[in-house]
Structure 1
Amino acid sequence: MQTDFLGRSIRLPALHWGWLALAAIIVWFVWQTAAILPPFIAGLVIAYLLDPVADRMEEKGIRRWVATAIVLTLFFAVFIGIILLIAPLVVSQFEALIETLPGLVDTVRPLAEKLYAQANLLVDLESVTDDMLQRGAEFATTIMRGVLAQGLAVANLLALLVIMPVVAFYSLRDFDDLTAQVQRYFPVRHADRIKSLLTDMDHALAGFVRGQFLVCFVLALCYAAGWWLTGLDYALVLGLIAGILAFIPYLGAVISVALALLVGLGQFGLDWWQLFLIFLVFQLGQVLEGSILTPNLVGERIGLHPLWVLFAVFAGGELAGLWGVFLAVPIAAILAVLVRAVMRAYLESPIYSAEAGPAADSE
C-alpha cells in the first residue's frame, strides 16, 4: 500500500512472478526468431491495410474468403507487375548513380568555389564546402545502398514470396474473428476504454499509412516523369527515391531535391535554366502533395506538431537506422494516441481537480 502526494492510499496491482517470466520468454523467443519473422509481419501488415476493402466487399454480399482472394490477387498482381516492369531499370540506375555520386562531388566542388569567388565572400569556405558536399554524398549514398540492399534482400527471399501471401490470405480472411478473439481477453472493467484507445490508434495509423502509400506512389510517378522531361540523368531512380522519401515528412523532401540538384549540377554544370526546371518539377510535386494529395488521402490523421514529427524522424534514425527513419512517424502517431489518453485520464483524476490536500485542511 502506498500513498499519493494528497495523502490518499493507492493500491497497486499485484504482479505475479509468473507473468514476468512469461513476458521474458516471449521477448527471448521473438529475439531468437527475428530472422524468420519478416514474411509473417509483412503478411499481417498487408491484411491489416486491406481489411477495409474486404469488409466493403463482404457488405455487398460477397463471401469473406472470395473477397479475400480477389483483393489479394489484385494486390499481388499489381505489385509483381510493377516489380517486373521497372526492377531491372531501377537496379541498373541505382548502381550507376551510386558509382557516379562520388565523382559528382568532385565535379560540383569547383562550381561551388566559383560561386563563392563571384560572391566576393570574405571568408575561406573551401574546407566547409568540401566537408558539406562529402557528407551529403556519403549520406545519400548510405540511404540508397540501404534501400537497394533491403529491396534486393527482400526480393530474393523465397520464404517471403511463398509464406507472405499465405499469411496474408489467412490473416485477411479471419481478420475480424482474430480481432474479436483478442478483445475477449481484455479486462472486463477496462474493455470499453481499451477498445476506444485501439480505435483511435487504428484511425491514426491505418489512415496515415494507407494514404501516405498512395501519396508516395503518385509523387514517384510525377517526379520521375517531370525529371525525365527535363533530360535529367537517372530520372526514374531519382523519382523513385523522392517518392519513397516522401514517407519521411520534411526531411525526405530536402534530401530528394538536394540529390536531384546535385545530379543536375554534375550533368549540366551551372546551367541555371536546367537547374530551375529540376527545382520547378520538385516544387510542383510539393504543391500537388500539399494541396491535393495529402489533404484528400491522409488529412490530419497524425495530429502531431511538425516539430514532434522532425524529432521522431531523427530519433528513429538514431535508434534503429534506416528502418527507424521510415517507421518513426507511424510509431509516433501511436504514441501520441497513448499520451493523449494518459493526459485525459490525468485531467479527470483527483490529482488534477483536487483543490486542497491535508496540509491545507489543517489551516
Structure 2
Amino acid sequence: MFDVFKQWYKKNFSDPNAVTLMLVIVLTAGLITLFGDLLTPVFVAIVFAFLLEWPVKKATQLGLNRNLSTTLVITIFIGIMTTIFVMAIPVIWKQSIGLIKELPDMMVHIKRYIYTLPDLYPSLDPALITNLINNFDTKLVSVLENSVQTIMASLTDVVAILIYLILVPMMVFFIIKDKKDLLAGFDKIMPVRRRLITQVSNEMNEQIINYIRGKMIELFIVGGATYIAFAIMDLRYAAVLGLLVGLSVLIPYIGAAVVTVPVTAVALFQFGLTPDFYAVMIAYGVIQALDGNLLVPLLFSEAVDLNPVYIIVAVLFFGGLWGFWGVFFAIPLASLVKAVINAWSVKSVPENIQTDTCN
C-alpha cells in the first residue's frame, strides 16, 4: 500500500511546478472559506471588473488612454444601472407586495386542486396526498420565514448597503485602471516555478471574462423575453416572474427547475386549467428551450463542453461550500478543475525549459 502511494506521489508531485500549483489552490480555497464573508465586496468588485474589462479594452483600442476609458465605461455603466433601477424597482416592488399578499390564496387554491386528484385518478392513495400537503406546508412556512428574515436583515444593514454603493464602484475603477500594477504585485509574491500556474491562469482568464459577460447578457435576454411574453398574455406579476426567471440562469439547470414552481402557481391560480394556462406554460417552455439550446451554446462555447452531470455536481458542491458565489462560479470552477487536471496530466518539460518559461 505504501509503495502504491509512493508511486502516485512521485508521478504527480515530482515536478516542483505541480507542488506550487497545489499550494496556491489550497491556500486560495482556504482564504475564501475562512474570510469569504469579509471579502464579499471584493468578489463583487472583481466580477464587475471582469464584466467591464472588455468595453474598456475596446475603448483603449480606439485611442483613448486606460484612465479615460475606465472612467467613461464605469460612468456609462452606473448610469444605465441607475436608470434601470429607478424605472424597474418600483414596479417590481409593487408586484412583489401583491404577490406576497395573494400567496396564501394561491396555496389554498393549489391544495384544493391536489385534493381532487384521488377522484380524478383512483389509483392515488388519499393518505399520500394528505402527507404530501402537510410536508409542503411545513417546508413552505420554513422557507418563507427564512426569506423574510434574510430580506429584513439586508434592508436594515445600512452599513453594508453603503459599502456596496460607495466602495465597490471605487474598487472596480482601481482594479481596471491599475490592472497591470496589481498583476505585477501578485507576480512578485508568486513562486518562481509556476509554469502550471501560468498555464491554468491563462486558460481560465478569458473563460471567466466570457462567462461573466455571457451570464449578464443571458440574464437580461431571458428575463426581458419572459417579462414581455407574460405581459402580452396578461399574466399577473409579469415583472416579478421575469426577474425570477432571469436570475434563475445564474444557477445552471437547478434554477430553471425551481423557478418553474412560482410561474406554474401564478398561472394556475389566475387561469385555472384553461387554454390561457397552457399558453403561458408553452411560452415559458419555449423560452427555456431557446435559452438552453440556442443562447447558452452561443454565449458559453467553452462551458458547454462540460457534461451536465459535472455542472450540477459543481453547483451542489461549490454552492454548499461558498454559498451564492460558489453557485455563480460553478461552471468556471468546474472548468478550473478540468484545466488543472489537463495541466497535471501533461508530462513535465525539462528543467531548463521551465526556467526559461518562468523568466
Partners of 2:169 and 2:141 in 1: how far apart?
Answer: 37
Measured after TM superposition, the shift of residue 157 of structure 1 is: 1.3
Q: From 163, 166, 181, give the equivalent of 1:162.
A: 166
Question: Given the alignment of the two structures, is residue 334 of structure 1 paired with residue 336 of structure 2, yes or no?
Answer: yes
Question: Given the alignment of the two structures, is residue 204 of structure 1 paired with residue 207 of structure 2, yes or no?
Answer: yes
Structure 2 counterpart of 1:284: 286
Structure 1 counterpart of 2:75: 73
Percent of aligned pairs with the same amino acid: 24
Q: Is the 8 A contact 1:105 1:133 kept in 2?
A: no
Residue range with higher mean Cα deviation, 272-281 or 298-307:
298-307
Partners of 2:324 and 2:148 in 1: how far apart?
Answer: 10
Q: Is the 8 A contact 1:228 1:235 kept in 2?
A: yes
Structure 1 counterpart of 2:86: 84
- CA offsets 1:146-189 (integer angstroms, 9 cap, x no match): 88568757887122211122111111111133224423444333
Structure 2 counterpart of 1:262: 265
From the superposition, tell whether residues 93 and 320 of structure 1 become closer, same or farther in structure 2 (CA, over 3 Å): farther
- CA offsets 1:273-299 (integer angstroms, 9 cap, x no match): 122112112112123313432222222
**1:108-127 mapped onto 2 (5 Å cutoff):** 108-124=110-126, 125-127=128-130
Higher relative contact order (CA 8 A, sep 6+): 2
- CA offsets 1:54-113 (integer angstroms, 9 cap, x no match): 122212211111100111011111111111111122123223323433432221111122
Residue range with higher mean Cα deviation, 83-92 or 234-243:
83-92
Partners of 1:333 and 1:142 in 2: how far apart?
Answer: 36
Structure 1 counterpart of 2:178: 174
- CA offsets 1:103-149 (integer angstroms, 9 cap, x no match): 32221111122233112224223224414643774587479658856
Counterpart AA for 1:169? F
From the superposition, tell whether residues 207 and 149 of structure 1 become closer, same or farther in structure 2 (CA, over 3 Å): farther
Partners of 1:340 and 1:136 in 2: how far apart?
Answer: 43
Q: From 52, 56, 59, give the equivalent of 1:57.
A: 59
Partners of 2:103 and 2:339 in 1: how far apart?
Answer: 41
Q: Is the 8 A contact 1:264 1:275 kept in 2?
A: yes
Partners of 1:145 and 1:341 in 2: how far apart?
Answer: 46
Partners of 1:44 and 1:121 in 2: how far apart?
Answer: 55
Q: Is the 8 A contact 2:250 2:327 kept in 1?
A: no
Say which SS state the counterpart of residue 116 (structure 2) adopts.
helix
Q: Is the 8 A contact 1:248 1:326 kept in 2?
A: yes
Q: From 235, 243, 247, give the equivalent of 2:246.
A: 243
Measured after TM superposition, the shift of residue 12 of structure 1 is: 9.7
Q: Is the 8 A contact 2:33 2:322 kept in 1?
A: no
Partners of 2:85 and 2:231 in 1: how far apart?
Answer: 20
From the superposition, tell whether residues 76 and 327 of structure 1 become closer, same or farther in structure 2 (CA, over 3 Å): same
Measured after TM superposition, the shift of residue 6 of structure 1 is: 8.8
Residue range with higher mean Cα deviation, 43-52 or 142-151:
142-151
Moved over 6 A (4+): 6-13, 153-156
Say which SS state the counterpart of residue 107 (structure 1) adopts.
helix
Partners of 1:316 and 1:61 in 2: how far apart?
Answer: 41
| RMSD value, Cα | 3.6
- CA offsets 1:297-348 (integer angstroms, 9 cap, x no match): 2223363211111122223443444554334333333233223323x24xx3
Partners of 1:60 and 1:159 in 2: how far apart?
Answer: 33
Q: Is the 8 A contact 2:50 2:212 kept in 1?
A: no
Structure 2 counterpart of 1:357: none
Structure 1 counterpart of 2:6: 4
Q: Is the 8 A contact 2:252 2:312 kept in 1?
A: yes
In structure 1, stretches of 5+ residues that fail to align are 351-363
Residue range with higher mean Cα deviation, 104-113 or 68-77:
104-113
From the superposition, tell whether residues 129 and 266 of structure 1 become closer, same or farther in structure 2 (CA, over 3 Å): farther
From the superposition, tell whether residues 47 and 326 of structure 1 become closer, same or farther in structure 2 (CA, over 3 Å): closer
Say which SS state the counterpart of residue 112 (structure 1) adopts.
helix
Partners of 1:337 and 1:11 in 2: how far apart?
Answer: 19
Q: Is the 8 A contact 1:98 1:141 kept in 2?
A: no
Aligned residues: 334
- CA offsets 1:203-252 (integer angstroms, 9 cap, x no match): 33221221011101111111111112222211110110010011211111
Residue range with higher mean Cα deviation, 39-48 or 132-141:
132-141
Say which SS state the counterpart of residue 4 (structure 1) adopts.
helix
Structure 2 counterpart of 1:221: 224
Q: Is the 8 A contact 2:314 2:334 kept in 1?
A: yes
Partners of 2:124 and 2:34 in 1: how far apart?
Answer: 58
Greater CA radius of gyration, 1 or 2? 1
Partners of 2:237 and 2:153 in 1: how far apart?
Answer: 20
Partners of 1:7 and 1:334 in 2: how far apart?
Answer: 22
Partners of 2:78 and 2:90 in 1: how far apart?
Answer: 19
Counterpart AA for 1:182? F
Calculate the TM-score normalised by the size of structure 1: 0.78
Partners of 1:106 and 1:208 in 2: how far apart?
Answer: 41
